[in-house]
Amino acid sequence: MTRITVPDQPTGRLTDAWRRCVGTGRFELALRRDYQDSLALVQRDIGFRHIRGHGLLSDGVGVHRPYDHVGERHVHHSFTYVDQVVDAYLDLGIRPFVELGFMPSGLASGDQTVFWWRGNVTPPRSWSQWADLVRATVAHLVDRYGLDEVRSWPIEVWNEPNLEPFWQGADRGAYHRLYEVSAHAVKEVDASLQVGGPAISPGADGWLVPFAEFVTDRQVPVDFVSRHAYTSGPGQHVPFGTHQTLAPATELLTQFAAPRRHLAGTALADLPVHITEFNSSYRPDNPIHDTAFHAAYLAPVLAAGGDLVDSFSYWTFSDMFEEVGIPTDHLVTRHTDGRIAVLAWAPVDVTGLSPAPDRHPVALSIPLGPAGTTSAFLLRSSVSEEAGNAWAAWAEMGRPRSPAARQLDALREAAEPARTHRALPVAAGRVEVDLTLTRHEVTLVELSPVVDETPPWWDATRLLGLPAETDRKE
């Protein structure tokens, strides 16, 4: 039994670092109807501030368009798809977190690519043409969306240049050059725009100090520092899928803290830090992302991460509806209208040695005002192995590959959190609530003070079917 006594006065403030950004697949996907429908659902329920994905400058988006005319080579910059995607994002109330990359094939110095859609990861053949491309792209965005708007879009140079597959030779010197040229090109459009890097993956914190020294020595502009965070171990492959071991969730918080720890004492020490990707596993084919386990695993990270960084961006949004939480196994927030919300979650086991419990009891003691309040309305919403779990329902259905319309309806219903409500007495300004969490449950309890407007003549005992002596509602 966990006993939680909520103090009478707030002890801190929950930042929204957890929803400042979210990850997405390659840029072009955002042209698709199902993508936009999914993102609209996420935005209705969560409301992320920014979104970041790969491939803005890759061939599929069609920005860099060389052509020959009267015997000479020219480049035409075309932003039709860029505008279409950014328009859709803004319509959905979300802004780009711009990632500059990968290399258009017409500007690439080699032919190494990443992913099945062939993002080119080699340096530009001409640094001045790369600068032209960056400048034209940023200038177009400012022209179309206004400087005030674009000023709020962080611009990050490349993705995980410390890894061979993402940057030819994992060449740090070449990345520094790329950063320098790009950062200057951005600032030439307007000095108030935000640019940053080095967008490194876990295990490359050794790049941080050299990056700081490089930009300091050469007076290269830098407005924020970025890094990624993941906890998965080596993969065991099955057809169309991968299983991986995981480090405990606290390892993510350790990674979040790394940039500030490494950069202490450098000129970059006080810059904002953005974790531009985080998750347990970076692999989309690891089924762990769809489990109730994952909701309870990430809950403490989402709650505590904001104390360490300015934003941390879940990679990626399309399987991330339930994740929310905080370390000590609950989180309490107070709203200005008197409501109190408690988020609680069940413990998880990442080792496989000590299975998580089937039942996790929690006793809450919660202050509720204003003075004179005698009753509270409780609304509880839960996800767990059984509730709010479309993945479990899909397994029970026999894992259909092409679910029929009727099955899709049932899955959508199964994805809704289970909701219950009741009235509770308020005594001495407090409500006592006993909860039992099931396996891997994450539950949200909202309590509102009741203003009783029942008219004086109302007498529930006169209603058929409601025995007076046991009526829980009166």
Question: Which positions are annotated as active-site residues?
Answer: 160, 277
Interface residue with a copy of itself, options 5, 47, 80, 361 (CB under 8 A): 80
**Rounded to the nearest whole angstrom, what is the least distance from the CB of residue 249 to a copy of itself in the complex?**
12
Q: What angle do CA 305, 308, 313 make, to 5 degrees?
A: 50
Interface residue with a copy of itself, options 102, 179, 293, 321 (CB under 8 A): 293
Reduced to 3 states, what is the DSSP secondary structure of residue 108?
A: strand
How far apart are the C-alpha atoms of 50 and 276, rounded to whole Å?
Answer: 11
Query: Angle between the 172-189 and 127-145 helix axes, to the nearest 10 degrees?
Result: 40
List binders of a copy of itself among 138-157 (CB under 8 A).
140, 144
User: How many Cβ atoms are within 10 Å of 385's Cβ, its own excluded?
Assistant: 18
Beta strands 21-23; 50-52: pairing state: parallel
Beta bridge partners of 387: none
Interface residue with a copy of itself, options 51, 155, 348, 442 (CB under 8 A): 348
For the record, the structure tokens of 244 come out as 């991986």
Examine residue 421 and tell whether it contacts a copy of itself (CB under 8 A): yes
Examine residue 217 and tell whether it contacts a copy of itself (CB under 8 A): no
**Rounded to the nearest whole angstrom, what is the least distance from the CB of residue 453 to a copy of itself in the complex?**
5
DSSP string, 213-263: HHHHHTT----EEEEEEE-EEEEEEETTEEEEEE--THHHHHHHHHHHHHH
Examine residue 467 and tell whether it contacts a copy of itself (CB under 8 A): yes
Binding mask 7-36 for a copy of itself (x = CB under 8 A): ------------------------xxxx-x
Q: How many residues bind a copy of itself (CB under 8 A)?
A: 84
**Rounded to the nearest whole angstrom, what is the least distance from the CB of residue 375 to a copy of itself in the complex?**
7
Which of 51, 43, 94 lies closest to 274, judged by CA?
51
Examine residue 283 and tell whether it contacts a copy of itself (CB under 8 A): no
Examine residue 410 and tell whether it contacts a copy of itself (CB under 8 A): yes
The residue (of 173 and 425) whose beta carbon lies closer to a copy of itself is 425
Which of 202, 105, 221, 219 lies closest to 157, judged by CA?
221
Examine residue 371 and tell whether it contacts a copy of itself (CB under 8 A): no
How far apart are the C-alpha atoms of 376 and 249, rounded to whole Å?
Answer: 35
Examine residue 369 and tell whether it contacts a copy of itself (CB under 8 A): no
Residue type, 340: I
**Rounded to the nearest whole angstrom, what is the least distance from the CB of residue 31 to a copy of itself in the complex?**
5
Interface residue with a copy of itself, options 27, 79, 130, 214 (CB under 8 A): 79
Examine residue 338 and tell whether it contacts a copy of itself (CB under 8 A): no
Interface residue with a copy of itself, options 68, 217, 270, 434 (CB under 8 A): 68
Interface residue with a copy of itself, options 126, 413, 425, 436 (CB under 8 A): 413
DSSP string, 275-339: EEEEES-S-TT-GGGGSHHHHHHHHHHHHHGGGT-SEEEES-GGG-SS----TTSEEEEE-TTS-
Interface residue with a copy of itself, options 272, 375, 429, 430 (CB under 8 A): 375
The residue (of 267 and 466) whose beta carbon lies closer to a copy of itself is 466
Interface residue with a copy of itself, options 115, 397, 430, 438 (CB under 8 A): 397
